[in-house]
């Protein structure tokens, strides 16, 4: 990152940027754009190697075959479909990058991976021009390209294959490609993904839907570092990992349910909660928990899907934080609270980095301008019912210990959704 960011405990930062400290109350620019961006590394059978590429729900509905090697309704794409139930965008990295491309006499697959072995070339005589050939490309049983040419030199590469321009065209009922392979999806592949996604400041959540404990620890450390040192306030969603941190969401049910939780956690706005949200994903969900087990899960910082009547719902929208301090109390275990403070921090950092750094003098007038912008942001969050009404006098902007630094002190009250009803009725 070009500018500094993250948390601070003392005024000792080196890089210019915006640093934040959110603490619990003892004893008790315009607001940043919409959330909705998830990121995940997947063991894919098709797709571009060693890059981050973007998917939306529209992309996989219209172009899943070209982008991922399978039709939209394929079992292979259940996880991606679950993410995009609620995420607006997902940054995807192909863990299996570095395999071999499939090929046949006439063409080579565009991408590496075993899905290339389902490609077939069919060559037939053109009915209107006996000197021409119809060259068709099939992905599985789906026709994805057809060209009419008189020589192989006329063939144009498509989204699936690169044609061998020196091949001889002869009628073929179907020539399958072979030799496509996936590379191993090991720890180094996950590290390559994390190295690349670090430069994507729009990410709200990253996910790992596997069971390797060392890889879980890798993601947890990454998420914590992004929040504390880089200023990218994201959360890592994993199964069965007690991270004890606001940076980690610990899904109890199964690794397959990480996909849906990943999308939900990214997609909810700062004033929304997933508590009691109906599960609308495609993966099976283990729900045979007793009430005592559900209580224990909440106390352990586990994100649980449970059965309510005929539907499956989110028990409570929490992260894995269970060790509380005066500065980080129980309120921080609530994901809605985290989304609110992340939105607040991102909004203030955005306006500070674009409007103030290197431009506005650190004098009384400049600090008043910054104060006014911060008050405006807080008021917008009050209007969106993310913060309670606040007194602008609770926000101060002061000269820091260094001539180029400013210190903002503020007090805000986060609004949460209703989770519990305690009703006492006196009958006369």
- What pLDDT was estimated at residue 421? 63
What are the residues facing 310 on neighbouring strands?
none
Sign of CA dihedral 352, 358, 362, 364: negative
Q: Residue 256, Cβ neighbours under 10 Å: how many?
A: 19
What are the b/e assignments for 91-112, b being 16+ CB within 10 Å? bbbbbbbebbbbbbebbbbbbb
Q: Which of 258, 252, 254 is nearest to 205 (CA)?
A: 258
Architecture of the CATH domain 101-176: Sandwich (2.60)
Integer angstrom CA distances of residue 212 from 217, 239, 240 = 9, 10, 10
- What pLDDT was estimated at residue 426? 76
Q: Residue 335, Cβ neighbours under 10 Å: how many?
A: 26
Determine phi and psi for 90, rounding to 5 degrees. Answer: -130, 125
Tokens standing for 88? 């607006």
Chain region(s) in the chain for CATH 2.60.40.4290: 101-176
- What pLDDT was estimated at residue 196? 97
Give residue-wise pLDDT tens across range 81-131. 999 999 999 999 999 999 999 999 999 999 999 999 999 999 999 999 989
Q: Residues 186-189: contacts with CB within 8 Å, 24+ apart?
A: 187/212, 187/214, 187/215, 187/218, 189/41, 189/95, 189/96, 189/97
Tokens standing for 363? 């004098």
- What pLDDT was estimated at residue 23? 54
- What pLDDT was estimated at residue 292? 95
Distance in angstroms (rounded) separating the CA atoms of residues 124 and 89: 41
Integer angstrom CA distances of residue 337 from 9, 166, 351, 388, 411 = 21, 62, 22, 12, 14
Q: Which residues of the chain have pLDDT under 50?
A: 1, 14, 26-29
Distance in angstroms (rounded) separating the CA atoms of residues 1 and 227: 13
Distance in angstroms (rounded) separating the CA atoms of residues 60 and 55: 7
On whether the CB atoms of residues 317 and 250 are closer than 8 A, the answer is no
Distance in angstroms (rounded) separating the CA atoms of residues 370 and 398: 10
On whether the CB atoms of residues 193 and 93 are closer than 8 A, the answer is yes
- Gyration radius of the chain's alpha carbons: 26
- What pLDDT was estimated at residue 383? 85
Integer angstrom CA distances of residue 397 from 184, 363, 371, 372, 400 = 52, 11, 6, 10, 9
Integer angstrom CA distances of residue 78 from 60, 69, 242, 329, 392 = 11, 14, 26, 37, 48
Give residue-wise pLDDT tens across range 358-408. 899 999 999 989 999 988 988 888 888 888 877 888 889 999 888 889 998
- What pLDDT was estimated at residue 132? 96
């Amino acid at each position: 990152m070009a500018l500094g960011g993250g948390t601070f405990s003392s005024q000792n930062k080196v890089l210019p940027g915006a640093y934040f400290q959110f603490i619990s109350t003892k004893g008790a620019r315009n607001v940043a754009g919409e959330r909705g961006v998830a990121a995940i590394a997947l063991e894919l059978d098709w797709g571009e190697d060693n890059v981050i590429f973007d998917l939306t729900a529209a992309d996989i509905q219209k172009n899943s075959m070209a982008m991922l090697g399978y039709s939209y309704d394929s079992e292979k794409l259940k996880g991606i479909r679950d993410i995009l139930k609620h995420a607006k965008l997902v940054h995807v990295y192909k863990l299996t990058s570095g395999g071999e491309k499939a090929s046949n006499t006439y063409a080579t697959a565009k991408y590496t991976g075993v899905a290339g072995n389902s490609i077939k070339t069919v060559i037939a005589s053109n009915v209107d021009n006996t000197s021409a050939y119809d060259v068709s490309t099939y992905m599985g049983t789906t026709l994805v390209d057809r060209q009419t040419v008189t020589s192989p030199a006329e063939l144009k590469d498509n989204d699936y294959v690169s044609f061998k321009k020196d091949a001889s065209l002869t009628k073929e009922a179907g020539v399958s490609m072979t030799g496509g392979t996936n590379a191993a999806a090991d720890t180094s592949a996950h590290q390559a993904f994390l190295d690349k996604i670090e430069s994507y400041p729009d990410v709200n959540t990253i996910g790992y839907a596997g069971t390797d404990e060392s890889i879980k620890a890798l993601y947890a450390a990454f998420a914590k570092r992004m929040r504390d040192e880089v200023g990218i306030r994201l959360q890592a969603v994993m199964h069965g990992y007690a991270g004890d941190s606001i940076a980690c969401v610990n899904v109890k049910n199964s690794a397959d349910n990480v996909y849906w939780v990943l999308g939900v956690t990214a997609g909810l706005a700062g004033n929304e909660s997933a508590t009691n949200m109906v599960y609308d994903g495609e993966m099976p969900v283990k729900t045979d928990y007793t009430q005592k087990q559900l209580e224990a899960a909440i106390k352990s910082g586990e994100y649980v899907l449970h059965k309510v009547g005929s539907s499956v719902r989110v028990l409570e929208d929490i992260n894995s934080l269970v060790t509380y301090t005066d500065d980080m109390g129980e309120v921080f275990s609530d994901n809605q609270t985290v989304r609110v403070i992340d939105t607040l921090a991102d909004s203030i950092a955005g306006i500070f980095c674009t409007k103030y750094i290197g431009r506005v003098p650190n004098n009384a007038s400049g600090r008043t301008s910054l104060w006014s912008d911060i008050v405006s942001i807080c008021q917008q969050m009050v209007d969106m019912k993310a913060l309670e009404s606040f007194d602008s006098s609770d926000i101060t902007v002061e000269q820091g210990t260094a001539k180029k630094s400013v210190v903002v002190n503020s007090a805000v009250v986060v609004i949460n959704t209703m989770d519990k009803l305690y009703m006492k009725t006196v009958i006369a």
